[in-house]
Structure 1
Amino acid sequence: MPTYASLSQSHPAGSPKEVLRKRTITGLRRLRAALRAHFPQGTDRMGTVRIGTWNIREFGNTKYGGRDTYEPLYYMAEIISNFDIVALQEVRDNMREFHALLAILGPAWDYLATDVTDGGAGNGERMVFAFNRNRVRFRNIAGELTLPDGKKILASFGERIRLENGISLELPDGVDLSGVYRARSDKKGGVVKLAEDVDIALPADTYLKLPEGSALAVTRGTEVTRPPGTRGRVTVQVPEGKICGEDFRLRFPGQALDQSFKQFARTPYLVSFQAGWLKIDLATVHIYFGDNEDEKLLAQRQREIASLTAALGKRAAKEMSKNPENTVLTAVLGDFNILSAEHETMQALEANGFEVPQEIRSIPGSNVAKDKAYDQIAFWEPARVRGYTRFEVRGANVFDFFDHVYTLAERSIYQPQRSEGSYKTWRTYKMSDHLPMWVELTSDFSDAYIDACDLSEPR
């Protein structure tokens, strides 16, 4: 159980520190009672493993003061202590808050984390697994998931070419593309800047001027001939005038392509654990968001999810083909930014052999408003026979902590000057705008193993 050292030290009656201490004690009591009622009753926890995933909003950032007292960290630790393994998203490069949380959880808890993902889409975030060493064991296998050449994620809105270093567009005479266009913008210091790209359609007869060093690339596999009596030479047929088609590419010098996506926006993290008899490879993700209303950005999100399940599914199938008696279960969990169970983003997740258990699919939503299926847990070929090991869900749900701490009824206590809407936003930076999701699986297969031994033929 977590350790709450600050609660034992009292302060003068009515002082801010004493008010905070008493309020936290009251909140913890409500939270602990709610958690006891939330999780399955009568389950033999020696025979199960409880796996959680939680996107903790900008964990480590200072917006709205960050987690400026021990109170929110105590509440978060109380929730996390009910899991055996938890995948955390949005842990920022500054891990001060996370380390404070880990200290509250106690010495049995450990963690594995990636470095931050570079680039704007990475948002300075890490992928983190925290786990209770008294309940599960790290199997010494961990790695970030990257995509091979030919499988990388190209932007659904098209790749960009840098118009610099001698590369330029030449518009037809008299064409002026200046004007008013639909786009989001930011204003800072009196200066307005674009918050997204503006795509302006180009008129016919627009030309791309190429710099010295550009080349026509005739692609590998194109049919050619060999000049008689020569070695290491070929005769290539290049059309006169207009050149296009699958056999040709344009090669630019230097860093001409501004490739928006080649790998995942935030690199998935794959770690292998063992709980009891159950061996499980877990991949945690935070899929590219973009914009729920932009079809191109939604398509980008779908591409990321599809690339993820294809890569993980191929890996799991390869491991199974090498060892048909392999008992390792593969799962992917985290924030997929899936809109609903019926959306194309969910279809991309449930591809390449992955399935979301019905117990999780039936959850209305994992965001605070409970209207978006952002967070998910999916398993690769769960019905596959894995010897005596079985995929068996003992329970699954999300836990709504705002029913018990930082409640709407407490706005006058925490932030009386704020409107209800502003308070709702403020409290998500103390806890989160996502609810923790969990699944509990059977991890003790002793009876099945004994039965298998009994059925074995004598030598």
Structure 2
Amino acid sequence: MAEIISWFDLVAIQEIADSLIHLRLLLSHLPASYRVILSDIGGNDERAGFLYDSDKLTRLELAAEVAVPPSDRRYIRLKGVSGAFEGFDRNPYAVAFRAGALEFTAVCAHLFFGSHAYYDQERRALEAYALARWADQRHKAAGAYSQNILVLGDLNLPIRGNSSSVYRALKAKRLILPQHSTSMGSNLAGDRDYDQVAFHAGGMQEAYGGHSGVFDFDHDPFFTDAWTIGADYFNNAVKYHIADHRPLWAEFEI
């Protein structure tokens, strides 16, 4: 994990445990310039956070959880989606950074999953819309800390297409989800587009280099032999000890 993370300047991480023993162990294997910032626990006792190379990025003043005031929850509505938005299960975590001349607010999100039941899918879609609406409001607000909003993480998007209510919710407020330059999904089965990088037109779109994709860490170059032995061996050796999602990467020019 440390080897893969060290290839990137800013890494959004979800499902950080309440105990930080293993996160600190991971950090000890990274170059000395890497720093961590994280939230407190939310749903499922999970934290969200960022690992970043302080030689490449400067953390700015803003660090906050994204929440929707109760008075605004009535605006979180989607055509064809029933139910009421009652808040995030895990509040997305927003931190401002500067990289070169680019200042932006990065949002680490792990949207609700629950199950494949329709009511959980609708709750997930409402969370997606609430996040997209918040990002759009910050993008347009003259007094926003930064109008450059970068949304990263496990958005539990089953498929990038209008057949998905989660996809429609994210796109409803003009979030751009760039097409990946790889064809596989970010889950280990390769058939789901759970993880995404999204942003609005403006500074983030101008900086986006047009290259993003899913990094196939579990086949090549690290664990080819584990797959060769068999899926059960791979799951015991990798899936339950490293990750059950593949990292998603995107390149921005600063």
Into which bin does the TM-score normalised by the smaller protein fall? 0.7 to 0.9
- Contact kept in structure 1, 2:138 and 2:149, CA below 8 Å: no
Deviation at 1:398, TM superposition (A): 1.4
- Contact kept in structure 2, 1:395 and 1:440, CA below 8 Å: yes
Summarize deviations over 1:168-193 as a string: whole Å, max 9, x none. Answer: xxxxxxxxxxxxxxxxxxxxxxxxxx
Matched residues, number = 245
Summarize deviations over 1:352-411 as a string: whole Å, max 9, x none. Answer: 121111236x6431111110000001102x2x3x5xx93332521111111133335577
Partner residue in 2 for 1:68: none
- Contact kept in structure 2, 1:142 and 1:271, CA below 8 Å: yes
Partner residue in 2 for 1:317: 140
- Contact kept in structure 2, 1:151 and 1:307, CA below 8 Å: no
Gaps of at least 5 residues in structure 2 are none
| Pairs within 5 Å for 1:104-253 | 104-117=29-42, 122-152=43-73
Matched, 1:407 2:224: yes
- Separation in 1, partners of 2:2, 2:192: 25
TM-score, normalization by structure 1 = 0.50
Give the alignment's Cα RMSD to 1 decimal.
2.5
- Contact kept in structure 2, 1:334 and 1:375, CA below 8 Å: yes
Matched, 1:349 2:170: yes
- Contact kept in structure 1, 2:60 and 2:97, CA below 8 Å: yes
What is the DSSP-based 3-state SS (H/G/I as helix, E as strand, rest coil) of the residue aligned with 1:131? strand
Closer, same or farther in 2 for the Cα pair 1:151/1:135, shift >3 Å?
Answer: same
- Separation in 1, partners of 2:111, 2:124: 7
What is the DSSP-based 3-state SS (H/G/I as helix, E as strand, rest coil) of the residue aligned with 1:97? helix
Q: 2:211 aligns with which of 357, 376, 395?
A: 395
Partner residue in 2 for 1:285: 109
Closer, same or farther in 2 for the Cα pair 1:392/1:410, shift >3 Å?
Answer: closer
Amino acid in the other structure paired with 2:66: L
TM-score, normalization by structure 2 = 0.87
- Contact kept in structure 1, 2:180 and 2:214, CA below 8 Å: no
Structure with bigger gyration radius: 1
Partner residue in 2 for 1:370: 190
- Separation in 2, partners of 1:408, 1:399: 18
Deviation at 1:132, TM superposition (A): 0.3
Q: Which runs of 4+ in 1 moved over 6 A?
A: none
- Separation in 2, partners of 1:409, 1:93: 30
Partner residue in 1 for 2:250: 439
Q: Per chain length, whose mean CA-contact separation is higher, i.e. which structure has more relative contact order (CA < 8 Å, sep 6+)?
A: 1
Amino acid in the other structure paired with 2:115: D
What is the DSSP-based 3-state SS (H/G/I as helix, E as strand, rest coil) of the residue aligned with 1:112? strand
What is the DSSP-based 3-state SS (H/G/I as helix, E as strand, rest coil) of the residue aligned with 1:316? helix
Partner residue in 1 for 2:233: 423
Closer, same or farther in 2 for the Cα pair 1:268/1:291, shift >3 Å?
Answer: same
Amino acid in the other structure paired with 1:303: L
Partner residue in 1 for 2:158: 339
Gaps of at least 5 residues in structure 1 are 1-75, 160-260, 413-419, 444-459
What is the DSSP-based 3-state SS (H/G/I as helix, E as strand, rest coil) of the residue aligned with 1:402? coil
Sequence identity of aligned pairs in percent?
A: 31
What is the DSSP-based 3-state SS (H/G/I as helix, E as strand, rest coil) of the residue aligned with 1:359? coil
Summarize deviations over 1:73-113 as a string: whole Å, max 9, x none. Answer: xxx11100111000001111011111011111022010110
Amino acid in the other structure paired with 1:112: I
